[in-house]
Chain A
Amino acid sequence: AQSVSQHNHHVILSEAASLELGCNYSYGGTVNLFWYVQYPGQHLQLLLKYFSGDPLVKGIKGFEAEFIKSKFSFNLRKPSVQWSDTAEYFCAVNAGNNRKLIWGLGTSLAVNP
């Protein structure tokens, strides 16, 4: 069965630290990949997505992610986090024709000022 793993459940960083959140998926075919953010009390917001082309994807708010097909990974990065990045981050994968999203369990990021 298809699955998505987010290895870090809780991450605590200080402002200006670099961020990398891991995401691995299990599916051998073509995939579309997504990172979403959910700020406290708010709804899901799409950070970035990968469908095809350049495996390094730039998103909003200074985030980027790199698709490494050989590693089945789509890790999220940000060179310097801010207190306002405190949120829950979800990785999701769409495989096949039905466009269902398979979700990771999320990573809770807390950035200390």
Chain B
Amino acid sequence: DGGITQSPKYLFRKEGQNVTLSCEQNLNHDAMYWYRQDPGQGLRLIYYSQIVNDFQKGDIAEGYSVSREKKESFPLTVTSAQKNPTAFYLCASGGYTFGSGTRLTVV
């Protein structure tokens, strides 16, 4: 089945640690996106990539980093510089197809 796979579904991180969220798609889409969802704030764009080896900052890129070495994969690293990382993270490809999300909690 074609789709977007995000893993893990739940992730716990200690303060000061970096953590990487996985996003893989087999839809042959060029464009991939990372959004963050917080209660009452809707979705906000973190980073996006329109082609392999290229990516751009979204509206809230500080404290995050990405790579796009393969068309199928667009991992997101939440660094220790991100001051409030606890949130639900959603990956999308092709503009409007979403994965099932990763809920990150800092403990």
Segment among B63-71, B74-82, B89-97 that sits at the interface with chain A: B89-97
Measured in the bound complex, the distance between the Cα atoms of B94 and A48 in whole Å is 16
Is A90 among interface residues, defined by CB-CB distance under 8 A?
yes
| Nearest CB in chain A to that of B96: its residue | A34
Measured in the bound complex, the distance between the Cα atoms of B100 and A16 in whole Å is 30
Question: Interface 1/0s, chain A 85-113, versus B by CB < 8 A?
Answer: 00000101010001111011110000000
Task: Evaluate contact between B58 and A100: CB separation under 8 angstroms.
Answer: yes
Question: Interface 1/0s, chain B 14-45, versus A by CB < 8 A?
Answer: 00000000000000000101010000111111
Measured in the bound complex, the distance between the Cα atoms of B70 and A1 in whole Å is 32
Is B85 among interface residues, defined by CB-CB distance under 8 A?
no
Is A17 among interface residues, defined by CB-CB distance under 8 A?
no
Task: Evaluate contact between B50 and A105: CB separation under 8 angstroms.
Answer: no
Task: Evaluate contact between B96 and A94: CB separation under 8 angstroms.
Answer: yes
Task: Evaluate contact between A98 and B50: CB separation under 8 angstroms.
Answer: yes
Task: Evaluate contact between A104 and B42: CB separation under 8 angstroms.
Answer: yes
Is A46 among interface residues, defined by CB-CB distance under 8 A?
yes
- Given the known inter-chain contacts A100-B48, A104-B42, please indicate yes or no for A44 contacting B58, CB distance below 8 A: no
Task: Evaluate contact between B58 and A105: CB separation under 8 angstroms.
Answer: no
CB distance from A26 to the nearest CB of B (A): 15
List chain B residues, Cβ under 8 A from A36: 98
Measured in the bound complex, the distance between the Cα atoms of B48 and A29 in whole Å is 22
Task: Evaluate contact between B96 and A103: CB separation under 8 angstroms.
Answer: no
List chain B residues, Cβ under 8 A from A106: 42
Measured in the bound complex, the distance between the Cα atoms of B41 and A105 in whole Å is 5
Task: Evaluate contact between B98 and A44: CB separation under 8 angstroms.
Answer: yes
List chain A residues, Cβ under 8 A from B90: 43-44
Task: Evaluate contact between B100 and A101: CB separation under 8 angstroms.
Answer: no
5 shortest A-B CB distances, which residue pairs? A99-B95, A43-B100, A103-B42, A105-B42, A103-B43
Q: Which residues of A contact B (CB under 8 A)?
A: 32, 34, 36, 42-44, 46, 49, 90, 92, 94, 98-101, 103-106
